[in-house]
């Protein structure tokens, strides 16, 4: 069972817990209980409702999610301490995948770049929206995740459009810039501490095509950038990234409250 990793998911879980605790107290006012119940329903119903109103995912994506959920990521992560621990909650999933597919259509992208692929959900979702001769270059540092994703891509009619580069993303980005590659759409979803470097290389090189769109995932980071208290390393990295984006006069941006936050950036 996946744990909640978005502001709305965490809010729904907290309201559920409060609702349960207060529900058994005979001393609490009925109106207060009823209001709390409504707040819990409002939060819990949101994500399933959005999903039910969104075009369903393809069989290949559904099967990729299922395989990701049944893999023992805990055991794999303890076997390899040099790489970031992997977990099933990293998958962007149905609604965000559908949103990314829309961006491929809207930008009429032929070349897409993904920074941080994991088991390939967002990569395959975007590849499904690419024309048959379109290409998606996916950067992934973890060889196990890369092999896992590749085996899922082989079961999809769109998987042949994806080219995986197994290396730290910054190395791959420099190589792509040196060979003059250009991308209409870039999805950043790798190590949070690397986000500022990824954005800078995209803006300082010719990697981003004219009118190119950059989408950056997890920019709400479970609410940490706006909550009081000590953030985690990822929370601090995202808060710093969001501020750097606000301060950067080369770009225009909007932070959408989709899943764990998705920032859209364009060069001006
Ligand atoms: C949040 S997951 C990506 C999820 C994926 N986009 C999806 O929607 O399913 C982050 C991935 O970035 C990879 N990663 C972390 N640091 C990286 C780096 N420096 N270069 C390339 N990939 C990296 C991790 O191994 C992990 O698989």
**Three-state secondary structure string covering the chain:** CCCCCCHHHHHHHHHHHHHHHHHCCCCCCHHHHHHHHHHHHHHHHHHHHHHHCCCCCCHHHHHHHHHHHHCCHHHHHHCCCCCCCCCHHHCCCHHHHHHHHHHHHHHCCCEEEEECCCCCHHHHHHHHHCCCCCEEEEEECCHHHHHHHHHHHCCCCCHHHEEEEECCHHHHHHHHHHCCCCEEEEEECCCHHHHHHHHHHHHHCCCEEEEEEEEEECCCHHHHHHCCCCCCHHHHHHHHHHHHHHHCCCEEEEEECCCCCEEEEEEC
Position 68 in a domain: yes
Same domain, 30 and 159: no
242 and 203 belong to one structural domain? yes
Give yes or no: residues 83 and 33 share one domain: no
- 193 and 208 assigned to the same domain: yes
pLDDT tens-digit map of 114-136: 999 999 999 999 999 999 999 99
Q: Which pair of tokens denotes residue 234?
A: 């990822």
Does residue 81 surpass a pLDDT of 90? no
Are residue 100 and residue 147 in the same domain, yes or no? yes
Q: Check whether residue 88 and residue 209 sit in a common domain.
A: yes
Ligand 1 atom nearest residue 97's Cα: 8
Is the CB of 64 inside a 6 Å radius of any atom of ligand 1? no
Inter-axis angle of helices 169-178 and 195-204, to 10 degrees?
0
Domain count of the fold of the chain: 2
- Pair 208, 94 in one domain: yes
pLDDT tens for 155-209 read: 999 999 999 999 999 999 999 999 999 999 999 999 999 999 999 999 999 999 9
Asked if 129 and 217 sit in the same domain, the reply is yes
Looking at residue 1, its pLDDT comes to: 73
Assess if residue 2 is contained within a domain. Answer: no
Confidence at residue 80, expressed as pLDDT on a 0 to 100 scale: 67
Assess if residue 235 is contained within a domain: yes
Retrieve residue 122's tokens. 């967002």
Distance 175 CA to ligand 1 centre (A): 18
How far apart are the CA of 92 and the centre of ligand 1, in A? 11
Ligand 1 neighbourhood includes 167 CB (under 6 angstroms): no
Among candidate residues 16, 36, 52, the one where a domain is terminated: 52
Binding site membership of 142 for ligand 1 (Cβ less than 6 Å): yes
Predicted local distance difference test score (pLDDT) of residue 78: 63
Domain of residue 167, CATH code: 3.40.50.150
Mean pLDDT is lowest, of 33-37, 223-227, 230-234, for 33-37
Same domain, 189 and 73: yes
The pLDDT score that the predictor gives to residue 79 is: 64
198 lines ligand 1 (CB under 6 A): no
Q: Is residue 186 part of a domain?
A: yes
Question: Would you state the pLDDT for residue 57?
Answer: 98
189 lines ligand 1 (CB under 6 A): yes
Q: Do residues 133 and 164 both lie within one domain?
A: yes
Q: Is the minimum distance from the CB of 91 to ligand 1 under 6 angstroms?
A: yes
Question: Are residue 12 and residue 106 in the same domain, yes or no?
Answer: no
* Domain annotation covers residue 1: no
**190 CA → ligand 1 middle, Å:** 4
Range of the domain at 17: 7-52
Same domain, 25 and 72: no
* Ligand 1 binding pocket includes 194 (Cβ within 6 Å): yes
């Amino acid at each position: 069972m996946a744990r909640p990793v978005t502001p709305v998911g965490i809010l729904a879980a907290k309201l559920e817990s409060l609702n349960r605790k207060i529900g058994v107290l005979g001393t609490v006012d009925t109106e207060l209980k009823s209001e709390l119940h409504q707040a819990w329903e409002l939060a819990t119903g949101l994500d399933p409702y959005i999903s039910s109103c969104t075009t369903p995912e393809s069989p290949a994506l559904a099967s990729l999610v299922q395989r990701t959920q049944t893999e023992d990521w805990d055991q794999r992560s303890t076997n390899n301490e040099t790489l970031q621990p992997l977990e099933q909650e990293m998958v962007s999933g149905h609604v965000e995948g559908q949103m990314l597919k829309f961006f491929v259509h809207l930008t009429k992208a032929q070349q897409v770049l993904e920074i941080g692929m994991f088991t390939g959900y967002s990569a395959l979702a975007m590849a499904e929206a690419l024309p048959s001769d379109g290409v998606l270059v996916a950067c992934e540092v973890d060889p196990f995740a890369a092999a896992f994703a590749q085996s899922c891509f082989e079961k999809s009619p769109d998987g042949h459009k994806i080219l995986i580069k197994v290396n730290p993303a910054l190395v791959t980005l420099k190589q792509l810039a040196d060979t003059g590659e250009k991308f209409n759409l870039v999805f950043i979803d790798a190590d949070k501490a690397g986000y500022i470097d990824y954005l800078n290389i995209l803006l300082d090189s010719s990697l981003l095509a004219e009118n190119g769109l950059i989408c950056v995932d997890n920019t709400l980071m479970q609410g940490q950038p706006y909550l009081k208290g000590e953030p985690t390393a990822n929370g601090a990295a995202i808060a710093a990234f969001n501020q750097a984006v606000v301060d950067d006069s080369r770009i225009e941006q909007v932070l959408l409250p989709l899943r764990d936050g998705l920032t859209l950036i364009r060069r001006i």
